Chain A
Amino acid sequence: MDKILEVKDLKVTFDTYGGSVQAVRGINFDLHKGETLAIVGESGSGKSVTTKALMGLIPKPAGKIPSGEIMFEGKDIAKMKDKDMQKIRGRDISMIFQDPMTSLNPTMKVKTQIMEGLIKHQKMSSSKAKERAIELLELVGIPDPKTRIEQYPHQFSGGMRQRVVIAIALACNPKILLADEPTTALDVTIQAQILELMKDIQKKTEASIIFITHDLGVVANVADRVAVMYAGKIVEIGTVDDIFYNPKHPYTWGLLGSMPTVDSKEDELFAIPGTPPDLMNPPKGDAFAARNPFAMKIDTEEEPPMFKVSDTHYAATWLLHEDAPEVDPPESVKRRMKDITANGSDQKGDES
């Protein structure tokens, strides 16, 4: 598959009164054409900051990119001037924001907000842009687009507003769509509709999607590949099957284990103890060591490199080193993984 985006050793820091916060601490990944890459992790793990860096939206001067490259079509976005970035932003790379209630301008008609990008980037006449805007609303499944386009955001429900936000993001046929928790603010039923819509659109436009979320159910639904982030680093990356059926990193075990499956009967959920580290002074060695029941001495001394599990699957944990002791995931996680695989089939039967 063709690589459309390459991120190499990207670092992002923010200067605060208390010191410099290392939000992203050197991450590497590629994005292929037409795929969906999900980035998961808890709040503060650096997943949103990563997408902001890709959009050139790191607030300056507090935010800095001290090192790293973001290669898009032979150009490095990380070092690009604001003026050049404006040509890419909204045209080649566009973004769907988390909260449809605040990401639309309440004083502008929906029409104007969709047409803005078309007129700016594609130099369309306003009558042509309006036609295209109506097409877009139809594409995202808003009924009666000709009337709706003249309305203001407050006249739309949450799910409908998110569709408008998606329409704006799609306006210029972007090559990459960055979706930052696009369904977190929505109800499950609406969430399911929006996810289906995004998959549908991806099929039609062949755009690549980077999907940020902390909901592993959503990840299983949309992703081709998954990157798990913790404390500003990617700790495990692989295909969706690698991550869900053969996870290697203890943090991934913890994430999977802390979600109850619909059939789980255990008395207690497997909870990751403690809280994430302070990124002002990131701990020496493996950042996850303090919360990791399998931590070894080396975890507190040296940072683990990315170990290769298979051609598609990499994980940064010393447990994969050849000298490390054999460790099995905790019983509850293993059982759950078995549960999941076993249940997958019979639940399908229930619903048909």
Chain B
Amino acid sequence: MSEEKLLEVTNLKQHFKTGRHSVVKAIDGISFDIYKGETFGLVGESGCGKSTTGRTIIRLYDATDGDVKFNGVDVHGKKSKSDLKMFNRKMQMIFQDPYASLNPRMTVKEIISEGLDIHGLVKDDKARTQRVHDLLETVGLNKEHANRYPHEFSGGQRQRIGIARALAVDPEFIIADEPISALDVSIQAQVVNLLKQLQKEKGLTYLFIAHDLSMVKYISDRIAVMYFGKIVELADSDELYKNPLHPYTKSLLSAIPLPDPDYERNRVRTSYDPADHDTSEVPEFREVRPKHWVLCTTKEFDAYKKQLAE
């Protein structure tokens, strides 16, 4: 992991109009950076805006406000077609549901090679076939699979096809939106191992969106916790698990069931009540300790500092 910023998100907002007067603030001003080669985990409960964040970054939605810079270049805003094409090549996405994200009428080869053709990465059909076969091998499938249709595969295999499709155009950055939640436990480990191995080989950077905290902890270098459209805490993954500061993070961590009966028998769950916060001022995102950020007011900031010093 280097110190070079690959992605800079500043004050990103995504508001959806749901009626004449009502607006859902799915993302409400979040800022973070993702460094080259790291895995950045984004966790939170359903409806907190974590998937919307991923989709807005890759321009599936137009952001209401805020900047997204990729390699120092602004991603949103007006772009020429060729710029957009270049950007689309560098950033790819793996979707949550391997059943819904593959076109059932296309063969695996067509699915994977679509991106190759759009970006003109292969000269002729021979090269295309070769590239598809290589990709299938990379993700642990074999070349006989190229002419089959998605329904002939199991969930884990489909997710591998989704990964092969994302890898086809040699991206630098992959947004993985709950890539393993729809898979069985024994298959989840296979896919996570594959993602890790690919990262090592190709120097990929991941934004890993999930709600399974133990898996996120395992795969991520840094983790951001989202709650109702805001990032409430951001830290290195070990630091976050050892010293959670924001009460929401604490309640989230205390709710993960661990595969350990003794621990479970004695578990104390802390619940989160947003009303417990200091409301004298609007909370801001502050750095409590180097690289450990929490959304808090000045009063809470001092309390957290004291807590860490102990």
Return the CB mask of A261-275 against B: 1 if under 8 Å, else 0: 110100111111101
Is B118 an interface residue, CB under 8 A from the partner?
Answer: no
Chain B residues with CB below 8 A from A9, complex form: none
B213 touches A42 (CB 8 A): no
Q: A220-B258, A267-B196 are in contact. Are A258 and B263 (CB under 8 A)?
A: no
Interface residues on B, range: 35 or more
B255 touches A269 (CB 8 A): no
B261 touches A241 (CB 8 A): yes
Is B280 an interface residue, CB under 8 A from the partner?
Answer: no
B254 touches A351 (CB 8 A): yes
User: Looking at the complex, which one of B185, B242, B251, B259 makes contact with A189 (CB distance below 8 Å)?
Assistant: B251
Chain B residues with CB below 8 A from A352, complex form: 268
Name which residue of chain B comes closest to A158, CB basis.
B46
Chain B positions 254-310 with a Cβ under 8 Å from a chain A Cβ: 254-264, 266-272
Q: How far is the CB of A212 from chain B (nearest CB, A)?
A: 14
Name which residue of chain A comes closest to B140, CB basis.
A273
B184 touches A188 (CB 8 A): no
A261 touches B261 (CB 8 A): no
**Most interface-central of B46, B260, B264, B270 (chain A CB within 10 A):** B260
Chain A positions 331-351 with a Cβ under 8 Å from a chain B Cβ: 340-341, 343-344, 347-348, 350-351
Q: How far is the CB of A213 from chain B (nearest CB, A)?
A: 10
B184 touches A348 (CB 8 A): no
Chain A residues with CB below 8 A from B256, complex form: 188, 217, 262
B213 touches A216 (CB 8 A): no
Chain A positions 250-288 with a Cβ under 8 Å from a chain B Cβ: 254-262, 264, 267-273, 275
Return the CB mask of A222-261 against B: 1 if under 8 Å, else 0: 0100000000000000001100110000000011111111
Q: How far is the CB of A267 from chain B (nearest CB, A)?
A: 7
Name which residue of chain A comes closest to B215, CB basis.
A260
A189 touches B252 (CB 8 A): yes
Chain B residues with CB below 8 A from A223, complex form: 261
Is A122 an interface residue, CB under 8 A from the partner?
Answer: no
Q: A187-B211, A188-B211, A189-B45 are in contact. Are A259 and B259 (CB under 8 A)?
A: yes
Is B16 an interface residue, CB under 8 A from the partner?
Answer: no
Q: A217-B258, A221-B264, A258-B189 are in contact. Are A264 and B218 (CB under 8 A)?
A: yes
Q: A196-B269, A258-B189, A271-B190 are in contact. Are A188 and B259 (CB under 8 A)?
A: no
Report Cα–Cα, A221/B263, bound state, in Å: 9
User: Looking at the complex, which one of B190, B214, B215, B263 makes contact with A344 (CB distance below 8 Å)?
Assistant: B263
B217 touches A43 (CB 8 A): no
B189 touches A220 (CB 8 A): no
Q: How far is the CB of B192 from chain A (nearest CB, A)?
A: 6
Q: A221-B257, A262-B217 are in contact. Are A343 and B185 (CB under 8 A)?
A: no
Is A219 an interface residue, CB under 8 A from the partner?
Answer: yes
A192 touches B196 (CB 8 A): no
Is A112 an interface residue, CB under 8 A from the partner?
Answer: no
Chain B positions 140-190 with a Cβ under 8 Å from a chain A Cβ: 154, 156-157, 184-190
Report Cα–Cα, A257/B254, bound state, in Å: 22
Chain A residues with CB below 8 A from B46, complex form: 158, 187
**Most interface-central of A257, A261, A341 (chain B CB within 10 A):** A261
Q: How far is the CB of A99 from chain B (nearest CB, A)?
A: 13
User: Looking at the complex, which one of A42, A214, A220, A244 makes contact with B257 (CB distance below 8 Å)?
Assistant: A220
Is B241 an interface residue, CB under 8 A from the partner?
Answer: yes
Is A142 an interface residue, CB under 8 A from the partner?
Answer: no
B264 touches A220 (CB 8 A): yes
Is B193 an interface residue, CB under 8 A from the partner?
Answer: yes
Is A215 an interface residue, CB under 8 A from the partner?
Answer: yes
Is A295 an interface residue, CB under 8 A from the partner?
Answer: no
B211 touches A189 (CB 8 A): no
Q: How far is the CB of A167 from chain B (nearest CB, A)?
A: 21
Chain B residues with CB below 8 A from A196, complex form: 269
Chain A residues with CB below 8 A from B264, complex form: 217, 220-221
B262 touches A344 (CB 8 A): yes
B261 touches A220 (CB 8 A): yes
Name which residue of chain B comes closest to A275, CB basis.
B154
Report Cα–Cα, A218/B185, bound state, in Å: 13
Name which residue of chain A comes closest to B188, CB basis.
A258
Name which residue of chain B comes closest to A217, CB basis.
B257
Chain A positions 171-214 with a Cβ under 8 Å from a chain B Cβ: 187-192, 195-196, 214
Name which residue of chain B comes closest to A191, CB basis.
B255
Chain B residues with CB below 8 A from A340, complex form: 258-260, 263
Name which residue of chain B comes closest to A190, CB basis.
B45
Report Cα–Cα, A280/B264, bound state, in Å: 38
Chain B residues with CB below 8 A from A254, complex form: 186
A259 touches B45 (CB 8 A): no
Q: How far is the CB of A32 from chain B (nearest CB, A)?
A: 18
Chain A residues with CB below 8 A from B45, complex form: 187-190
Report Cα–Cα, A196/B268, bound state, in Å: 11
Return the CB mask of A10-30 against B: 1 if under 8 Å, else 0: 000000000000000000000
Report Cα–Cα, A219/B261, bound state, in Å: 8
Chain A residues with CB below 8 A from B187, complex form: 42, 275
A219 touches B218 (CB 8 A): no
B260 touches A220 (CB 8 A): yes
Chain A residues with CB below 8 A from B190, complex form: 271-273
Report Cα–Cα, A192/B273, bound state, in Å: 15
B185 touches A259 (CB 8 A): yes
B186 touches A258 (CB 8 A): yes
B255 touches A347 (CB 8 A): no
Can you list 5 A-B pairs with a CB-CB distance of less than 8 A?
Answer: A192-B269, A244-B259, A254-B186, A255-B186, A352-B268
* Shortest beta-carbon contacts, A-B, top 3: A217-B257, A258-B189, A260-B218
Residues of A within 8 A of B (CB): 42-43, 158, 187-192, 195-196, 214-221, 223, 240-241, 244-245, 254-262, 264, 267-273, 275, 340-341, 343-344, 347-348, 350-352
Residues of B within 8 A of A (CB): 45-46, 154, 156-157, 184-190, 192-193, 196, 211, 213-215, 217-218, 241-242, 251-252, 254-264, 266-272
